[in-house]
Amino acid sequence: MSPIRVLIADDHRLFRQGLRYVCQAAGIEVVGEAEDGWEAVRLARQLRPDVVLMDVRMPGLDGVEATRLITANQPEIRIIVLTMYRQDQYVFEAIKAGALGYLLKDIDEKELVEAIHAIHQGDALINPSLAARLLEEFRRLSRGEIPGEEELTEGEMQVLRLVAQGADNRTVAERLAISERTVANRLSEIYRKLHVNNRVQAALVALRRGWVSLEEE
């Protein structure tokens, strides 16, 4: 039987090296590595792997959009999103884009290998802790329960005010003297708490509730 052929897409070189080691030790062939989403799409088209291990946040094109492009053009390729992000927003978007798996980067090596084999066979897998939370959310929705909103922290409110004024993540990071990753994490929490899907919807909520004015500087 031919080994499973895997493409690794992650912008952290050391993490890619670790994944390569785990795969090769288990007899899984790593056919290529991509540093960003666009390269992942290009290499998937060129190398035609069986499975892609896809990070979510990467420069250029993120993993969700890369997943959407790959599955639209090469539906036979199985994609496992392997990320540090636990937020429901990312899970839902990845699954909608066509990913068959959503796993966290702290997964045990043995479990990762088993997941690659399962996904290759066409199974669908979500990290157990995430799956339990999503299942409860679906149950609440099926009962007609509307989830309540959680209060934003002061740090999240600072980010939301700047986003509502049209600032991108880099500008927000510079204005608040924080990293762009921190900005992205706070935005994810804002989306979750306000039950919105993107920065435009979040900004509209802020404007409607008077949390921010377009005239603010």
Radius of gyration over every alpha carbon of the chain, rounded to an integer in angstroms: 19
Mean pLDDT across 201-211: 80
Q: What is the pLDDT of residue 52?
A: 97
Q: Which residue has the higher pLDDT, 208 or 217?
A: 208
Q: What is the pLDDT of residue 217?
A: 46
For 97-120, what is each residue's pLDDT tens digit?
899 989 888 888 999 999 999 999
Q: What is the CATH number of domain 5-139?
A: 3.40.50.2300
CATH architecture group of domain 154-208: Orthogonal Bundle (1.10)
Q: Which residue has the higher pLDDT, 132 or 71?
A: 71
51 pLDDT tier (thresholds 50, 70, 90) = very high
Helix (H, G, I), strand (E, B) or coil at 146: coil
Where do the CATH 1.10.10.10 domains begin and end in the chain? 154-208
Q: Which residue has the higher pLDDT, 66 or 191?
A: 66
92 pLDDT tier (thresholds 50, 70, 90) = confident
38 pLDDT tier (thresholds 50, 70, 90) = very high
Q: DSSP string of 47-104? A: H--SEEEE-SS-SSS-HHHHHHHHHHH-TTSEEEEEES---HHHHHHHHHHT-SEEEE
Where do the CATH 3.40.50.2300 domains begin and end in the chain? 5-139
Q: What is the pLDDT of residue 216?
A: 46
Mean pLDDT across 131-148: 57
196 pLDDT tier (thresholds 50, 70, 90) = confident
pTM over 0.75: no
